[in-house]
Structure 1
């Protein structure tokens, strides 16, 4: 479950949580669960690991949630040869306690 911060003044969601609304500057918020769906805005395939702990290749992406906020995250697939595309629908899943996204079925 991914929780988003919603401004009670303008009803806009934001992620990561902040002290002020990025849309209207208000300071009163509520918390709501994200739907888990989104669209790939941009991505890159990384072939050089930053440390020995990383298995390559892996995919880093900018995903726009259905609610509006944008996350920098990883794209994962059981198929290591998976092809990715911008504007592709993805769904939230979890890996090692981190929010990652997989292709929507």
Structure 2
């Protein structure tokens, strides 16, 4: 039996629950403001652009490009040590928002700014919750 703790798993709340439920269905969901039409991520009670509260959920196609990244050689906690080195990236999705995730199924030395990626989902040990990540497109 391993002494390494499992990777953390998010705890959905009333605002983020549709996002995490979508992830479990293989969907990357984001909010769009009905007033100004702009996309936003992460989930909030009000639009970060115009502050309206008329938001609805949409499903992203899941394609985008790496805007910035860092190769992590020394994991911040023991549960990620077995993954090192791994890539933590900021990804611009085609729908017009940025999110942070890991780049999976890719040699860290091959990751580049502007690289085309697509959303994929990672299973976490001991949980049914799927975690959105990306892989090369």
Per-residue displacement from partner, 1:7-41 (whole Å, max 9, x unpaired)?
A: 00111110111111111111101111011011100
Residue aligning to 2:34: 8
- Stretches of structure 2 that go unaligned for 5 or more consecutive residues are 1-26, 124-129
Q: What's the TM-score, normalizing by structure 2?
A: 0.71
1:1-105 matches, cutoff 5 A: 1-54=27-80, 55=82, 56-77=84-105, 79-80=106-107, 83-96=110-123, 97-104=130-137
Note the C-alpha offset of 1:51: 2.7
Q: Would you say the 8 A contact 2:85–2:108 is kept in 1?
A: no
**CA distance in structure 2 between the partners assigned to 1:93 and 1:69 by the alignment:** 17
- Which aligned segments of 4 or more residues in structure 1 are displaced greater than 6 angstroms? none
- Stretches of structure 1 that go unaligned for 5 or more consecutive residues are none
**CA distance in structure 1 between the partners assigned to 2:108 and 2:64 by the alignment:** 21
**CA distance in structure 1 between the partners assigned to 2:72 and 2:60 by the alignment:** 28
**CA distance in structure 2 between the partners assigned to 1:81 and 1:65 by the alignment:** 20
Query: What's the Cα RMSD here?
Result: 1.3
Q: What's the TM-score, normalizing by structure 1?
A: 0.91
